[in-house]
Amino acid sequence: MGWIAALYLLLAGPLFGQTEADAQALTHIGKIDEAIGVYAALAKQFPRTPKYQDQIGFLLAATKRVPEALSHFQLAAEIDPLYAPAFYHQGVALWLSHRREPAISALRKAVELSPESAEYRWRLGSALLETSEYRAAAAELSESVKRNPANGAAWQSLGMAEQQLQDFAAARDAYAKALELDPANAGLRNSYGFMLVNTRQADAGIAQFESILSKNPDDTAAQINIGFAYLQKGELDKAIHQLNTVIAAHPDLAVAHYDLGLAHKQKDDLASAASELHRALELDPRMVEAHYTLGIIAWQNGDIEQTVAEMKAATIASPDYAQAWYMLGTALKQTRDLSGAVASLKKAIDLDGTDPGPYNTLGLVLRQQGDNVAAKQAFAKAADIKMAAEKHQAELLQRGPARGLP
């Protein structure tokens, strides 16, 4: 009788009760609670099948009943610890309820269980981007777009991550791909233009911003970015005029004050620069670049303690900010905090091993500490990196500029 009973249970849903297809149809017409009822019946009938608990959780989360949803995702994961969708949906629900750390943990588990899922990697990468884990975000998003090149949102997020890592060429390419998929997206076009400016194509960037303003003259991001483009071109008076015009109409735009601060700094008006940068931080305390630039101004003014304070603030706000770690180590060396300098310089090297500067400074600090062997190794590494860079540059000059097919 055992096999007969098993067969009855297998057929009971399709033949004598409502089915998964019924639940899907109810969901499609907006009868969510009735669909949940069908999945609940199926879950009772097949208690070792995780997807029914997962579907209940999904519908509860979709109707903003997140606490109830989480209990069903948890139950699905307990039924089958290898069922990736339960962890994925749990991660998304946790994120929506502003529980970031457990959300990222659940999304990581989903990716671990289903590494070929472009969607899972996109969501994890986007979450890491929001928590300023830019290097990890870029890695996940790169894997996502390899698996699904048609996801414009993933390309855009990848561009944002690469931008934060200051790999502007990679950011530009990612934004260009996203814009190809979504050409009407003004925010994306602004990002693309910004990256063109950062890769020494300021006039091409300005053309992108002017294209936006031709359709929407009130687009403040495009207005600010034109000022930034003038700044990058070295046309400082034009930059200051443009940014002052924007600030007169919109005095609470932190990024406009930041860019204006940079323009004043380039004109060696350090007092005006510091004033604008402090105003930017008042408006947006998360603006890590303002801390870094204030640290550089403090260094130029001979205020080493203030340099240390600003660089510490920058590294706290953005732990992947290699240049800030390098500058922090340099400043700590001047204050004779040699152990702190070594730690900061090693962090800079871990984040960006292609810059000879931190190795050279580390060598100087190690020599001050009396560790001549390690100092010699650091100096040698700096020399190797510099030599490799010079060799690469020479090869490029011998080859001449690259071009495409005619």
Higher pLDDT, 102 or 12: 102
What is residue 6's predicted lDDT score, i.e. its pLDDT? 36
Mean pLDDT, to the nearest integer, of 185-203?
A: 90
pLDDT at 114 over 70: yes
**pLDDT by residue (tens digit) across 293-340?**
999 999 999 999 999 999 999 999 999 999 999 999 999 999 999 999
Average pLDDT for 132-160: 96
pLDDT at 11 over 60: no
Arithmetic mean of pLDDT, 84-111: 94
Contact 197, 229 (CB under 8 A): yes
| pLDDT computed for residue 399 by the predictor | 39
- 199-236 pLDDT, tens per residue? 889 999 999 999 999 999 999 999 999 999 999 999 99
Residue 284 has pLDDT above 50, yes or no: yes
Average pLDDT over residues 137-141: 97
Mean pLDDT of 92-104: 93
Higher pLDDT, 283 or 13: 283
Q: What pLDDT, on a 0 to 100 scale, did the predictor assign at position 41?
A: 92
Overall pTM > 0.75: no
> Which is more confidently placed, 388 or 50?
50
| pLDDT band at 259; cut points 50, 70, 90 | very high
pLDDT of residue 15: 35
Please say if the pLDDT value at position 104 is more than 80. Answer: yes
Mean pLDDT of 48-67: 92
Confidence of residue 389 (pLDDT cuts 50, 70, 90): confident
Domains of the chain: 297-390 (1.25.40.10)
